[in-house]
Amino acid sequence: MNEAQWIIFGVAIDPTPIFLTFKVALVTTIVLLTIGIPMAWWMARMQSRWKVFLEAVVALPLVLPPTVLGFYMLILMNPEGSVATALRVFGHDGQLTFTFAGLVVASAFYSLPFAVQPLMHAFEQVPQDLIDAAKTMRAKTLDWFYNIVLPLSRRGLLTAATLAFAHTVGEFGVVLMVGGNIPGETRMVSIAIFDHVETLEYAQAHVLSTLMLIFSFSVLFLVYALNRRFAVKVG
Amino acid sequence: MLQISLDVHYSDFHLSVSDLAIQTHGVTALFGRSGSGKSTLLKAIAGLEPMAAGRIEFNGETWLAQSKSTPTQQRNIGYVFQQGALFPTMTVRENLAFARDRAPKDLGLETIAKACQIEHRLDANVASLSGGEKQRAVIARTLLSAPDLLLLDEPMSALDSQTKLEILPFLEHLKIELNLPIILVSHSPDEVLRLADQVVFMADGRVSSVESVEHAVSRSDSPLFVESGPVSLLSAVKAQEDADDHIVEWTIAGSKQSLLLPIHEDHDMNEARLSIRAADVSIALEQPTRTSLLNHLHGTVSAIEIQGHSALVSVDVDGHCVYAQITQRSVRALGLQVGQSVVASVKGVSVV
């Protein structure tokens, strides 16, 4: 046990898994928005028949057992594999498994549909006329995207960010496969709960589970409330 | 001059235009039914039609060469969309500023807003605007981007008929004051009649003809006048008003002759187009006396076109063409011939 412990509901709790979980979730969300926004825009405006294929690929983590995804991630992250070799070219030590970076990469894949789907849905609702109008007023691509598309898609952005964050907080299988259970390094809250139950520390498991429950409910409540508030009328 | 040779291919639609030349002054109307390709053509001129291939040149500048296209941002065009396309996340002022901030010159947001009668709604939300206000805000925004060519895609189709009556005179003022070439997509003969100088008739993805509006309305088979038959259009200047008799005298441009019309309440303009249906004009060989008709125009017969049982007689009135639809029997009875001096008596004339 760690020296800095929190007392919640009279139970001593090691807070490091909580901090780690939020850190992973935050970084994953930032990564997902950075990749997800251009990707969702590209898919939303896509006319070709490959669109259906891509949509199915993005949605895969929704239905795949996390262990399957985690298994393939492990193989991809093999320190002797091509990904690691490529990383070494860029000066990285090539070690992804059982590290923070590995957790973020795996989480990003796992939470991808939660970011891309709401974004794509929002982008599909943006009327082409508004973009065309901006172009006739000499707005270049990044200009109209930032000033017209993003403000119109703020609900989708908000939903994407909160769901990606919350879903990363709630993952178990993938992070266990890729990150393992190294205290202070890769042990996230969900894994800590599993650990406590294994060792019959039901009090700690209860506290952490309650925290997760409150957090998850609050996030969903926030999403639905903001969705109402930020409704944009088009037309 | 705007020169266009264009192909736009979709699986269910094909627009094909060859060697279309549109003058770059005054108003050109693209007229046709929905599905005739007029909006697609306008989009291609704006550079907003991704499937466009061909050649477009605007005053010597190449906008499209095969599929190599000058981006819309560099074409210096203003575009008024059917539904307006105001940005709903911004106020009216922010909408106008969006255009001004990206324009090569600042025409003055307040000045343009005032000219478009929208200055009292500058801080309003777009959603709270009425149909007419929306359209005036859109036009103000378009003008603020300082375009060299103004493209209007059915600017009034989303408006109710009352609001249309309010916007039409406004567009007319705009046309006179701006001296900016305008291309207008329309399926309303009224709009074309009031605003256009030149008409491009379109059907089934092709251009069927390009005519001056005066000529276009006069053809008996004109697509503009399926119902009312041929119409003459005369530009005229207001001469004097007689409030007692509730009558205005309009002098025909370039002529000493004039027409008397009832005072038109919502028309405060000093210049207007007068329209006369050919069916409302009769022909006499000399000035009729003792008649209730007020309007008689002197001219010479320039053409007689037989159409079934009737005849369309063109009378040249000091350079303007006035059409009279009369029976063949009348043509024979009067012994009408090209070159003959006649008097055209006008039963009905209106300001368009």
Per domain, the residue ranges of chain B are: 2-225, 231-351
Cα separation, B29 vs B34, whole angstroms = 14
Give the residue on B whose Cα is nearest the Cα of A127: B85
What are residue B281's phi and psi, to 5 degrees?
Answer: -115, 130
Q: What is the pLDDT of chain B when averaged over all its residues?
A: 88
Q: What is the mean pLDDT of residues A109-137?
A: 95
pLDDT of residue B347: 86
Give the residue on B whose Cα is nearest the Cα of A135: B73
Rounded to the nearest angstrom, the minimum Cα separation between B73 and chain A is 4
* A156-210: pLDDT as tens digits: 999 999 999 999 998 888 888 888 888 888 889 999 999 999 999 999 999 999 9
pLDDT of residue B266: 56
pLDDT of residue B265: 62
The CATH homologous superfamily to which domain A20-182 belongs is MetI-like (1.10.3720.10)
> What are the chain B neighbours of A143 within 8 Å (beta carbons)?
102
* β-strand pairing of B14-22 with B182-186: unpaired
Q: Residue B98 and residue A152: Cβ atoms within 8 Å? A: no
Cα separation, A68 vs B58, whole angstroms = 60
Residue at A213: amino acid letter: L
Single out the residue of B315, B316, B325 nearest to residue B281, CA to CA: B325
Give the CA diameter of chain A: 67
* Per-residue confidence band for B41, with pLDDT thresholds at 50, 70 and 90: very high
Single out the residue of A71, A20, A18 nearest to residue A185, CA to CA: A20
What are residue B61's phi and psi, to 5 degrees?
Answer: -95, 130
Contact, B232 vs B323, CB < 8 A? yes
* B218-240: pLDDT as tens digits: 666 677 766 667 888 888 888 88
What are residue A167's phi and psi, to 5 degrees?
Answer: -70, -35
* Out of B79, B82, B127, closest to residue A136 by CB: B79
* Per-residue confidence band for A42, with pLDDT thresholds at 50, 70 and 90: very high
Q: Residue B85 and residue A135: Cβ atoms within 8 Å? A: no
Q: Residue B87 and residue A133: Cβ atoms within 8 Å? A: yes
Q: Residue B103 and residue A137: Cβ atoms within 8 Å? A: yes
Q: Residue A139 and residue B127: Cβ atoms within 8 Å? A: no
Least confident of B7-11, B82-86, B287-291: B287-291
Cα separation, B43 vs B40, whole angstroms = 5
Q: Residue B102 and residue A138: Cβ atoms within 8 Å? A: yes
State the fold for domain B231-351. OB fold (Dihydrolipoamide Acetyltransferase, E2P) (2.40.50)
- Beta carbon pairs, A and B, within 8 Å: 63
Strand order in the sheet with B341-346: B281-284, B341-346, B295-307, B310-317, B320-327
Q: Residue B89 and residue A133: Cβ atoms within 8 Å? A: no
Domain boundaries, chain A: 20-182
CATH code reported for the domain at B2-225:
3.40.50.300
Cα-based torsion angle of the residue sequence B312, B315, B316, B322 in order, rounded to the nearest 10 degrees: -70
Q: What is the pLDDT of chain A when averaged over all its residues?
A: 89
Give the residue on A whose Cα is nearest the Cα of B43: A132
DSSP A146: I
Single out the residue of A145, A146, A189 nearest to residue A169, CA to CA: A189
CA B3 from centroid of its chain's CA atoms:
20
Q: What is the mean pLDDT of residues B34-43?
A: 91
Enumerate chain A positions whose Cβ falls within 8 A of a Cβ in B. 127, 129-130, 132-140, 143, 147-148, 151-152, 232-235
Q: Residue B46 and residue A132: Cβ atoms within 8 Å? A: yes
Residue at B172: amino acid letter: E
Question: DSSP secondary structure string, B261-305?
Answer: EE--TT---SEEEEEEEGGGEEEESS---S-S--EEEEEEEEEEE
- Please report, rounded to a whole number, the percentage of residues in chain B having pLDDT higher than 70: 96
What long-range pairs does B312-317 form, CB within 8 A, spacing at least 24? Answer: B312/B220, B312/B230, B312/B278, B313/B283, B314/B218, B315/B281, B315/B283, B315/B342, B315/B344, B317/B234, B317/B252, B317/B255, B317/B257, B317/B344
Give the residue on B whose Cα is nearest the Cα of A137: B99
Highest mean predicted confidence (pLDDT) among A5-9, A36-40, B50-54: A36-40
- Which of B86, B89, B100 to probe the A interface (max A CBs under 10 A)? B89
Q: Residue A139 and residue B103: Cβ atoms within 8 Å? A: no
* Out of B77, B83, B102, closest to residue A129 by CB: B83
* Out of A127, A130, A140, closest to residue B73 by CB: A140
pLDDT of residue B297: 92
* Per-residue confidence band for B16, with pLDDT thresholds at 50, 70 and 90: very high
Q: What would the two tokens of residue A53 be?
A: 């294929």
Cα separation, B41 vs B37, whole angstroms = 6
Q: What would the two tokens of residue B78 be?
A: 């203003």
pLDDT of residue A1: 46
* Burial (0-12, 13-18, 19+ Cβ within 10 Å), A91: exposed
Q: Residue A129 and residue B81: Cβ atoms within 8 Å? A: yes
Q: Which residue has the higher pLDDT, B47 or B247?
A: B47
Give the residue on A whose Cα is nearest the Cα of B139: A133
Q: Which residue has the higher pLDDT, B173 or B338?
A: B338
Q: What would the two tokens of residue B270 be?
A: 């000093």
Angle between helices A16-44 and A50-63 (to 10 degrees): 160
Rounded to the nearest angstrom, the minimum Cα separation between A222 and chain B is 22
- Please report, rounded to a whole number, the percentage of residues in chain A having pLDDT higher than 90: 60
> What are the chain B neighbours of A157 within 8 Å (beta carbons)?
none
pLDDT of residue A111: 94
Give the residue on A whose Cα is nearest the Cα of B99: A137
Rounded to the nearest angstrom, the minimum Cα separation between B85 and chain A is 5
Q: Residue B73 and residue A133: Cβ atoms within 8 Å? A: no
pLDDT of residue A232: 54
* Out of B46, B88, B102, closest to residue A234 by CB: B88
pLDDT of residue B53: 92
Least confident of A24-38, A128-142, B275-289: B275-289
Cα separation, A184 vs A192, whole angstroms = 11
Phi-psi region of B36 (alpha: psi -120 to 50; beta: other; left: phi over 0): alpha
What are residue B331's phi and psi, to 5 degrees?
Answer: -60, -45
Cα separation, B20 vs A169, whole angstroms = 62
Residue B64 pLDDT > 50: yes
What long-range pairs does A15-21 form, CB within 8 A, spacing at least 24? Answer: A16/A183, A16/A184, A16/A187, A17/A187, A17/A188, A17/A189, A17/A191, A17/A192, A17/A208, A18/A189, A18/A211, A20/A184, A20/A185, A20/A186, A20/A187, A20/A188, A21/A169, A21/A188, A21/A189, A21/A190
CA B124 from centroid of its chain's CA atoms:
31
Q: Residue B88 and residue A140: Cβ atoms within 8 Å? A: no
Q: What is the mean pLDDT of residues A130-151?
A: 96
> What are the chain B neighbours of A127 within 8 Å (beta carbons)?
83, 85
Q: Residue A133 and residue B88: Cβ atoms within 8 Å? A: no
**Distance (Å) of CA B31 to CA A160, B181, B185, B190, B207:** 45, 17, 6, 11, 10
* Burial (0-12, 13-18, 19+ Cβ within 10 Å), A29: buried
> What are the chain B neighbours of A139 within 8 Å (beta carbons)?
73, 98, 102
Q: How far apart are the two ends of chain A, measured CA to CA in Å? A: 59
* Out of B47, B82, B145, closest to residue A137 by CB: B145
> What are the chain B neighbours of A137 within 8 Å (beta carbons)?
98-99, 102-103, 141, 145
Q: How far apart are the two ends of chain B, measured CA to CA in Å? A: 28
Residue B306 pLDDT > 60: yes
> What are the chain B neighbours of A138 within 8 Å (beta carbons)?
73-74, 102-103, 145
